[in-house]
Amino acid sequence: EVQLVESGGGLVQAGGSLRLSCAASGFTLNDYAVGWFRQAPGKEREGVSCRSSSDGSTYYADSVKGRFTISSDNAKNTVYLQMNSLKPEDTAVYYCEADLYGSTCPHDLVSGMDSWGKGILVTVSS
Give the contacts of 65 (CB within 8 A, at least 6 positions apart). Answer: none
124 C-beta neighbours (distance < 10 Å), count: 19
pLDDT at 104 over 90: yes
Residue 117 — very low, low, confident or very high, per pLDDT cuts 50/70/90? confident
- Residue 2's pLDDT band (cuts 50, 70, 90): confident
What is the rounded distance in angstroms from the CA atom of residue 17 to the CA atom of residue 50? Answer: 19
The pLDDT tens digits for 29-88 are 999 999 999 999 889 999 999 999 989 999 999 999 999 999 999 999 999 999 999 999
CA distance 79 to 29: 8
pLDDT at residue 101 in the model: 87
Residues 6 or more apart in contact with residue 44 via CB below 8 angstroms: none
Give yes or no for residue 1 having a pLDDT over 90: no
Q: Give which of 24, 9, 2 is closest to 94, Cα–Cα.
A: 9
Length of the chain: 126
The angle subtended at Cα 9 by Cα 95 and Cα 18, nearest 5°, is: 110
pLDDT computed for residue 43 by the predictor: 92
* Confidence tier at 116 by pLDDT (50, 70, 90): confident
